[in-house]
A and B are shown apart, each in its own frame.
Chain A
Amino acid sequence: MSILEVRNLSVRYFSHTGVASSAIMDVSFDVRPGEILGMLGESGSGKSTLAASLLRLLPANGKIQQGSILFEGRDVLQAELRELEIIRGKRIALINQEPSAALHPTMRIGDQVGEVLAAHEYLGKRARRERIQQALSAVFPAETERISFSYPHQLSGGQRQRVLIAQAIACGPSLVVADEPTASLDPTTQREVLSVFQGLRQKFGLAIILITHNPLLLAGLADRVLILYAGRVAEIGPTESVLSTPMHPYTRALLRCLPPLPCSADEVNRKTMLPVISGDAPNSALLPQGCRFEPRCPDRFEACGKREPAAVSPNNGHTVCCFKFGG
């Protein structure tokens, strides 16, 4: 049983002159309760568009062209505004990349968490204070009080990111969509914030979609990984399987780009050229006709340029869109 089912979702953006560009195309995936789904894609791959469309928060020039989004049995795309307002923030929470831009600079943290609660529930003063306390103590077990009375500028980047997580979980959602939640943090803080997500999943059975461009963040954290390339799902499967035995040529090339760590104290391989993916990601206004990775793919053959490959699952639960595997 999944809590979220996305089927054949396609989104286009229209410029003011009416030119359409495809942001995501024919994307299908599920999220199971209590699961961390890592969504991996580089800039322009459509990952933020996908996050926004789950909540129907696309900008005015973005149109969902086809597909369906079923969340907890409700059709998000057909939902009326009142129903949407219950889903947004209360059932599905969205965490954005820049924590300093998401917080009000002159309001205390506790009040800002309280605002989220007030938008969704009728609570008395005391009940609200208790719920604020609960949400904050889930992410700051040691110093709930102090944080609650602080202003954003008094907190570090990692602490601010945790405040956003507290806001996200305040109403007890079943799904949190986190769009690059650690991109602006240093690795030590990054690790801390990611372990907060892990803790919440364990404690509240929260499902999390973790969007990132760094494959290594997902290792040991996500249950499954979805690889987006130029608006299409290249590959989806269990994290270990996707990251250690990637099937799609794009995933393989992407993982090879990462600088290797010396395995032992005497191995010296520094200052060597890294393998790169030739060319640039395709422009969303002029996409290649066949497979979107075809122009850059080292393994391409004739069929690749003619039509788009379908999804196939050669391994249990590991799905890939590539002709090499019979797509």
Chain B
Amino acid sequence: MRCTRMPSLIQVEHLVKRYSGRRVPGSREVMSALNDVSFSLAPGRTLALVGESGSGKSTLALCLAGLERPTSGRIWFGGRDIVALDEKELRTVRPQIQLVFQDPVSSLNPRFTALEILREPLIVQRSGGRRETSESALAMLESVGLSREMASRGVGEFSGGQRQRLAIARALSLAPKLVILDEALSALDCSVQAQIANLLLELQSSFALTYLFITHDLAMAAHLGDEIAVMDRGRVVEQGVPEKILHTPEQEATRRLVAAIPGSNVTPRLPRAL
């Protein structure tokens, strides 16, 4: 293991994920979704992962969450290489790494009530009886800014922003150490984005969470991230503090992303003028 200044929560070393072309039977076409990706993430910090569509951001998220098997490389988490674990051992790791997806409509079961959604992970992990799981589900509902009275509502009765709060509450119900936010703000309106961004910051400080924040939105990445990592064609091509990435980008891929920030073609960028 490499030496780092700060003890890292998760450390990724030379991660490779290849998909073989299954579309044409017998084809030997191989697609490298991840190509030698390495980074480490210290506890309590946020790494924002940016890149164009198809640059490998979501594949990386799936590998870290133990939902995809990497082709090679190591992922050190809690002193263990989770790539080497078998399915049974992996099941003890997964609760500690949770995902929040982009679309709260398709990631929540429409036939469940809010309470059922929040209890399900606890039931699956067999943590407590009926009363216990209900009580911790209700507490979780409150910590994401929803009220206990909403527990019996169906998913359809919540607004988009409230659904994303519910998805975050579900991710937090197993007290994870790392939360992977895969485009978790992208489908929301600007005013709701700001509310959820604030919620994420609050939760990070009260539960000492570590975030991997995957996004298209470089402005939000700069706002929420302690560091930004830029991915391009399966590689992390540049990593650094947001100010540096935005103002002195070194790689072509980074420059392209910075140039495409909506509103960056207008000076000064509008909200500043207020």
Interface residues of A (CB under 8 A from B): 42-43, 156-157, 185-191, 213-217, 219-220, 243-246, 252-268, 270-277, 280
Contact = CB atoms under 8 A, between A and B. Distances in A.
A186 to B, nearest CB: 5
Contact of B274 (A255, A259, A276): A255
16 contacts: A42-B192, A185-B53, A186-B52, A187-B260, A216-B270, A219-B262, A220-B266, A246-B274, A260-B223, A260-B271, A261-B269, A263-B268, A270-B223, A271-B224, A274-B198, A275-B194
A21 to B, nearest CB: 15
B191 A254 contact: yes
A42 B190 contact: yes
B243 A276 contact: no
A191 B258 CA distance: 12
Nearest to A221: B265
Contacts of B201: 271, 273
Between A42, A252, A257, A259, the greatest number of chain B beta carbons within 10 A of the residue's beta carbon is seen for A259
Interface in B236-262: 242-244, 246-248, 256-257, 259-262
B260 A188 contact: yes
A272 B195 CA distance: 12
Interface in B188-226: 189-195, 197-198, 201, 216-220, 222-226
Given A256-B271, A266-B243, 19 more contacts: A42-B190, A186-B216, A190-B262, A191-B259, A214-B190, A215-B190, A216-B269, A219-B265, A255-B270, A259-B219, A259-B223, A260-B223, A262-B247, A263-B268, A265-B246, A270-B242, A271-B46, A273-B201, A274-B197
A266 B259 CA distance: 19
B263 interface: yes
A160 to B, nearest CB: 12
Contact of A189 (B53, B217, B225, B269): B53
A118 B159 CA distance: 42
B262 A187 contact: yes
A306 to B, nearest CB: 25
A261 B274 CA distance: 14
A223 B272 CA distance: 21
Contacts of B257: 187-188
Nearest to B268: A263
B3 interface: no
A125 to B, nearest CB: 34
B225 A270 contact: yes
Given A186-B52, A188-B257, A261 B224 contact: no
A46 to B, nearest CB: 14
A259 B272 contact: no
B191 A219 contact: no
B160 interface: yes
A115 B198 CA distance: 48
Contacts of A245: 273
B125 interface: no
B20 interface: no
Contacts of A275: 194
Contacts of B268: 263
B182 to A, nearest CB: 14
Contact of A43 (B52, B160, B259): B160
Contacts of A220: 263, 265-266
B192 to A, nearest CB: 8
Given A255-B274, A258-B190, A277-B191, A187 B226 contact: no
Contact of B191 (A246, A253, A265, A270): A253
B130 to A, nearest CB: 32
A284 B53 CA distance: 36
A244 to B, nearest CB: 4
A193 to B, nearest CB: 11
